A and B are shown apart, each in its own frame.
Chain A
């Protein structure tokens, strides 16, 4: 496994597209986990300029333990597309450069090849989760009014859910990349699928009030794992925990994409 990760990192790290996407992802992560409170403070000062002192967005406990975990993960998952693109790039490049063929000729099995990509997807998910954890701890300690061990760690399982969300989504992009094999078309399809197809079906199912349709939409199911926590700040009820059946659905989708990708690679001639 370490050998495969080593191979994959050697392929990907010097790649400019990967570097640019990774830097964008990291910057986005830092902004999300550090920048919201300064933004609220800026808003507050603007409101003050207009003599609306009554509105104070800084009272929203965005970065307070334990809320911070659900807040950070539910925002950060919007940026999964950046990692998805980098993975699509890496798999479609292997097809367009035909290096997948040379890798197999050199002695990698087709299974090992696709595993090196899956391990990379897992590695990226794990690194983002760890980075988010560290950044969350730092900002949490800065902005929390009250700090205790149980407050800090009580909702930390949202990070685990975040890991599964990201990993399942990356398996989906890996599948799209393997299926299409052309980077631009694969990325186009990914955006089209997520924004047009899934949203279309979602809205249609809401209109017709057919609930189960949502479960057939992989990216919607993945996104739904961590519920949007922000309505609670305007006193609406939100699901502030991870539901087991939703977690099960994400794992099911992940497994399905894993299976389909391996099958595509093994069955095809290179």
Chain B
């Protein structure tokens, strides 16, 4: 991920906008699924759209891909109004993989070639890229979920897209499948493509994305860099054989909060105090720590904080 972020950081200044969304709203009957959304995605970004289920992620992607008609607002791809030619430059997968079940992998991809007006030679190339070449003449309905997901990534890669859109790309996969898909996404991102990923899996976004935004009940409540997430307070996990470790830690003056979790204590460090200082302090008190772990703040924590801070946000 570090490598990925650096690429994006250095490219950031002089790059054009790939997608800009202005004041986008969608009304389903009485429900406002999307409320005045403004977003910008620059070339080379790996942009994560986070949000709980039903927060408007898929609606947003559906609108920018012209399958859902927006109630109001606009969006532009590559600085122009969306049309079928802009969509031919985008590789997108929404929700679960969608193909004709009675057709083979190759037959399915050839249809996509015809739609995107791409030569058939690409079919074998992308199937090799996602590691499906051995099953290319098997019917789609016989595929496992992981293979289906890989086929949809292959299909999105067919037109050698400048932008890829992935909606919950690892949904329902087993851990191995998740790891494979992630590796594939990072590989694609490293080749300089812009990627937009919608997910409710924070860990996933933290592992692959450079930027992220948070949606809640159709409203944008946060937009920033994933890199910035780790900044700020550090907490240290401590385990030691002592009857009242809690008090000892609280009296150290190195941190603010001390929280107990099963047999370990988690202290949020204050200022520039480090884990080393804490270790030295404990040693002075005659306590030997048998477990000492530094945790920087995870996206999960930040995400929950953002959501908690916006409880009233988007409420009708």
Contacts and interface: CB of A to CB of B under 8 A. Distances in A.
Interface stretch (A66-74, A105-113, A135-143, A165-173): A105-113
A109 B159 CA distance: 17
A109 B65 CA distance: 11
Q: Assign chain A's interface to a size class.
A: 20 to 34
Size range of the chain B interface in the assembly:
20 to 34
B67 A106 contact: no
Given A101-B67, A270-B67, A270-B68, A108 B115 contact: yes
Interface stretch (A3-11, A79-87, A199-207): A3-11
B188 interface: no
A97 interface: yes
Given A101-B67, A105-B67, A269-B62, A7 B114 contact: yes
A97 B98 CA distance: 7
Contacts of B84: 107-109, 112
Interface string B104-126: 00010011101111000000000
B99 interface: yes
B88 A107 contact: yes
B102 A14 contact: yes
B111 A107 contact: no
B67 A104 contact: yes
A37 B66 CA distance: 57
A16 interface: yes
B169 to A, nearest CB: 15
A45 interface: no
B107 A3 contact: no
A255 interface: no
A3 to B, nearest CB: 6
A154 interface: no
Contacts of B115: 7, 103, 106-108
Given A106-B115, A108-B115, A101 B94 contact: yes
Given A3-B114, A105-B94, A106-B115, A99 B103 contact: no
B69 interface: yes
A225 B205 CA distance: 63
A103 B108 CA distance: 11
Contacts of B283: none
B85 to A, nearest CB: 8
A109 to B, nearest CB: 5
B106 to A, nearest CB: 11
Contacts of B65: 104-105
A103 B67 CA distance: 10
A104 B94 CA distance: 11
Interface in A3-46: 3, 6-7, 10-11, 14-16
Contacts of A270: 62, 67-68
B207 to A, nearest CB: 25
A11 B111 contact: yes
A267 B68 CA distance: 9
Nearest to B67: A270
B150 to A, nearest CB: 16
Nearest to B155: A106
B114 to A, nearest CB: 5
B114 A6 contact: yes
A98 interface: yes
B87 A14 contact: no
A269 B111 contact: no
Contacts of A105: 65-67, 87, 92, 94
A101 B114 contact: no
Q: Taking each of A7, A97, A102, A112, which has the highest tally of chain B beta carbons within 10 Å of its own beta carbon?
A: A102
Given A14-B107, A106-B115, A107-B85, 17 more contacts: A6-B114, A11-B103, A15-B102, A101-B67, A101-B94, A101-B98, A102-B99, A105-B67, A105-B87, A106-B155, A107-B87, A107-B159, A109-B84, A112-B84, A269-B67, A269-B68, A269-B69
9 contacts: A6-B114, A14-B103, A97-B98, A97-B99, A99-B98, A99-B99, A102-B94, A102-B98, A104-B65
Which 7 A-B pairs give the minimum distances between C-beta atoms? A107-B88, A102-B98, A270-B67, A107-B87, A269-B68, A106-B115, A7-B114
Interface of A: 3, 6-7, 10-11, 14-16, 93, 97-99, 101-109, 112, 267, 269-270
